[in-house]
């Protein structure tokens, strides 16, 4: 009996010692933070689950979870937090799990860094996780816990369509971008507008609430909406690429509770599931368009107008006095690349002066066709009396229906110019009313007494005399040189546009600032983009139809413009173009900053051109 008691006491002592050691070890190890991925090998376009787990005795002391950078993946949902508590041998053991659902965008081997939490004044750090993303589909995973693990690449698609795959140079084609979805999408924005290099484009207006339709794509039913529709006109021949459109979608996913607890299984009922919204970027497919050149037998005067046009010219009067104005309007209307049309210029008699025309455009997008009219309004000033003739102006375009070049001509105008204020046709000089008044003042009363004589300051009088003699010739010479320079400038339109590019851009930026003050952000960004584009076209002497941003960057580099100025200009144009198609993606501060960046870039280019004497 005594022997049994000794062994019992011995076992009790051993057990107590073991429990004491375990308690000491548990206290030393209180608070661990680990990371795990399920699975660790996925395919591009699929999702996986990443869980950070804290284990310790006091979950109420856990604070400030800081997740690592997920820049190589898209966060579908998370962090989804769940807590689990257990009692073992009278001691509580608790854990908190922070779960993320991540979407793998591209193949490769990636490292997800460590996460951290604060626990009882200490910072706990998890280990890094290696994720392998393959190109092909891995073996089917047995766990498909909820909607968030569905293959989003199959359920959310942006697809680009073109109504024509082969066109002639300058012929219209329409590119439509559609969003197809089988999951819940609460909204979308255009994250990155497609690049239409080699095309001139006109966007169609999209309704604020687009109509949804049911369509079958790849044998599956989707809800679809048209998110962007653009008419394109090729400005160069060859196989041209249309870059993808990137759309940022607000996706709603359901999350479930995890664990083996029967209460968790009960709350997995759809009635208890939570819905979270996360952003996901989706790209459309690229397109390739084959552009055939025009026939090589283009007649003289063809400047690139392609479509179906009419041409007309009119004057407001046929009989005027010399020095009185005549208004000449030249109008091209029809469908096609109307914005790229170069209007014919009148060939005027030598004694009829003309000022720079006022150009106006009226573009319509009705019925899926870009059409409208472009008008140039000239102010003509005849200087001499007589009969003057304005010969017909030719307008040459390529007709897409007839597949040939067509030449249209304006009417022939005759003007009867009568003598006016500036009439110089007669050799007899006209006498003005002021000259007639002076006739009564030719004879003055003669003084009989000489009066008191005083010596005059000859030096002062001589200086004023010389100044009076020299000043008129100097004024005449300056006026003559100024007139010759202006004649040279106005005779060289590219030079005029080059010299006035900076002032015109500043005027447009002032207009943009006024639009911003009015709250018209869409027109504000469009005005900034137009100011910068036209500035580069005029400063680099590039036609609108030939303007390409990459080529403009190269020319600025060749002219010695600093790289930071070029990058600021390019970034500003890209931001202005992006925000036009994604309203609400910027703030008041970024809008004001955009205006300052644009003005600074233009100022930097102007300074470089002045220093180097570039023209």
With CA atoms as reference, report the closest residue to 39 among 114, 113, 140. 140
User: In which domain, by residue range, is 131 found?
Assistant: 29-143
CA distance 149 to 26: 37
pLDDT at 292 over 80: yes
pLDDT at 208 over 80: no
**Do residue 279 and residue 312 come from a single domain?**
no
pLDDT tens digits, residue range 373-393?
999 999 999 988 899 999 999
pLDDT of residue 144: 38
CATH of the domain at 81: 2.60.40.740
- Integer CA distances (angstroms), 443 to 435, 446, 448, 450, in order: 15, 9, 15, 19
Last residue of a domain, one of 143, 177, 195: 143
**Do residue 325 and residue 238 come from a single domain?**
no
Instruction: Please check whether residue 280 is in contact with residue 156, taking contact to mean a CB–CB distance below 8 angstroms.
Output: yes
The lowest-confidence range among 97-106, 270-279, 307-316, 515-524 is: 270-279
pLDDT at 340 over 70: yes
**Do residue 166 and residue 65 come from a single domain?**
no
Cα 210 from chain centroid (whole Å):
22
pLDDT of residue 141: 43
Sheet containing 184-192: order of strands: 184-192, 246-255, 274-283
Helix (H) or strand (E) holding 188: strand 184-192
What number is the average pLDDT over the span 311-322?
A: 92
pTM for the model stands at 0.45
Percent of the chain topping pLDDT 90:
15
Q: How confident is the model at residue 439 (pLDDT cuts 50, 70, 90)?
A: very low
Domain count, the chain: 4
**Do residue 270 and residue 163 come from a single domain?**
yes
In a domain, 425, yes or no: no
pLDDT tens digits, residue range 76-102?
777 777 766 655 555 556 777 888 888
pLDDT at 332 over 90: yes
Last residue of a domain, one of 291, 326, 345: 291
With a CB cutoff of 8 Å and minimum separation 6, the contacts of 276 are 77, 80, 252, 253, 254, 255
pLDDT of residue 433: 35
**Do residue 338 and residue 411 come from a single domain?**
yes
**Do residue 266 and residue 314 come from a single domain?**
no
**Do residue 180 and residue 238 come from a single domain?**
yes
CA distance 35 to 53: 6
In a domain, 83, yes or no: yes
Q: How confident is the model at residue 497 (pLDDT cuts 50, 70, 90)?
A: confident
**Do residue 37 and residue 106 come from a single domain?**
yes
Percent of the chain topping pLDDT 70:
75
CATH of the domain at 177: 2.60.40
pLDDT of residue 189: 81
In a domain, 3, yes or no: no
Last residue of a domain, one of 418, 440, 461: 418
**Do residue 276 and residue 156 come from a single domain?**
yes
Q: How confident is the model at residue 311 (pLDDT cuts 50, 70, 90)?
A: very high
**Do residue 177 and residue 215 come from a single domain?**
yes
pLDDT at 461 over 60: no
pLDDT tens digits, residue range 421-437?
544 443 333 333 334 33
In a domain, 446, yes or no: no
Token code pair at residue 326: 């005549």
Token code pair at residue 180: 């197809």
pLDDT tens digits, residue range 553-566?
888 888 888 888 88
In a domain, 539, yes or no: yes
**Do residue 551 and residue 596 come from a single domain?**
yes
In a domain, 457, yes or no: no
CATH of the domain at 548: 1.20.120.330
pLDDT tens digits, residue range 105-142?
788 888 888 899 888 878 888 888 888 888 765 444 44
In a domain, 24, yes or no: no
In a domain, 441, yes or no: no
Helix (H) or strand (E) holding 461: helix 458-491
pLDDT at 6 over 60: no
**Do residue 351 and residue 387 come from a single domain?**
yes
């Amino acid at each position: 009996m005594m022997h049994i008691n000794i062994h019992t006491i011995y076992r009790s002592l051993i057990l107590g010692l073991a429990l004491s050691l375990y308690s000491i070890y548990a206290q030393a190890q209180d608070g661990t933070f680990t990371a795990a991925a399920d699975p660790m090998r996925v395919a591009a376009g699929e999702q996986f689950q990443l869980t950070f787990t804290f284990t310790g005795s006091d979950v109420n002391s856990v604070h400030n979870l800081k997740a690592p950078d997920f820049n190589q993946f898209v966060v579908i949902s998370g962090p989804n937090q769940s807590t689990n508590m257990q009692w073992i041998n009278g001691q509580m053991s608790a854990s908190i799990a922070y779960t993320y659902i991540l979407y793998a965008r591209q193949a490769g081997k990636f490292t997800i860094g460590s996460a951290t939490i604060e626990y009882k004044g200490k910072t706990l750090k998890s280990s890094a996780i290696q994720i392998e993303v393959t190109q092909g589909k891995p073996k089917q995973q047995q766990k498909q816990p909820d909607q968030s693990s569905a293959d989003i690449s199959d359920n959310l698609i942006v697809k680009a369509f073109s109504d024509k795959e082969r066109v002639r140079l300058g012929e219209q084609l329409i590119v439509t971008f559609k969003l197809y979805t089988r999951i819940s999408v609460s909204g979308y924005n255009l994250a990155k507008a497609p690049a239409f290099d080699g095309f001139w484009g006109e966007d169609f207006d999209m309704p604020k609430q687009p109509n949804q339709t049911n369509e079958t794509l790849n044998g599956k039913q989707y809800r679809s909406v048209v998110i962007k529709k653009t008419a394109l006109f090729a400005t160069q021949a060859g196989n041209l690429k249309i870059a993808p459109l990137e759309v940022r979608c607000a996706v709603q996913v359901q999350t479930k509770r995890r664990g083996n607890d029967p209460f968790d299984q009960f709350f997995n009922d759809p009635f208890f599931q939570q819905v979270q919204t996360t952003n996901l970027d989706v790209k459309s497919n690229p397109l390739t368009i084959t552009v055939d050149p025009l026939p090589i037998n283009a007649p003289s005067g063809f400047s690139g107008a392609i479509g179906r046009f009419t041409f007309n010219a009119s004057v407001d009067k046929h009989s005027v006095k010399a020095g009185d104005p005549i208004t000449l309007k030249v109008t091209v209307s029809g469908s096609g690349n109307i914005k790229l049309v170069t209007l014919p210029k009148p060939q005027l008699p030598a004694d009829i002066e003309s000022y720079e025309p006022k150009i106006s455009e009226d573009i319509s997008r009705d019925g899926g066709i870009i059409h409208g009219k472009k008008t140039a309004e000239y102010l003509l000033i005849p200087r001499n009396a007589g009969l003057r003739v304005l010969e017909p102006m030719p307008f040459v375009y390529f007709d897409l229906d007839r597949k040939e070049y067509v030449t249209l001509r304006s009417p022939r105008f005759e003007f009867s110019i009568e003598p006016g204020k500036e009439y110089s046709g007669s050799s007899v000089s006209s006498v003005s009313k002021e000259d007639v008044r002076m006739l009564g003042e030719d004879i003055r009363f003669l003084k009989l007494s000489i009066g008191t004589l005083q010596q005059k300051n000859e030096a002062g009088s001589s200086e004023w005399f010389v100044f009076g003699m020299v000043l008129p010739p100097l004024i005449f010479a300056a006026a003559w040189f100024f007139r010759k320079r202006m004649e040279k400038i106005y005779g060289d339109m590219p030079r005029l546009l080059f010299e006035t590019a900076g002032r015109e851009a500043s005027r447009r930026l002032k207009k943009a600032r006024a639009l911003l003050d009015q709250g018209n952000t869409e027109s504000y960004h469009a005005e900034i983009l137009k100011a910068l584009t036209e500035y580069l076209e005029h400063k680099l002497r590039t036609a609108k139809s030939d303007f390409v941003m990459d080529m403009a960057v190269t020319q600025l580099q060749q002219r010695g413009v600093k790289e930071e100025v070029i990058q600021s200009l390019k970034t500003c144009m890209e931001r202005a173009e992006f925000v036009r198609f994604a309203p609400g993606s910027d703030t008041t501060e970024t809008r004001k900053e955009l205006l300052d960046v644009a003005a600074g870039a233009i100022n930097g280019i102007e300074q470089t051109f002045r220093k180097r004497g570039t023209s």
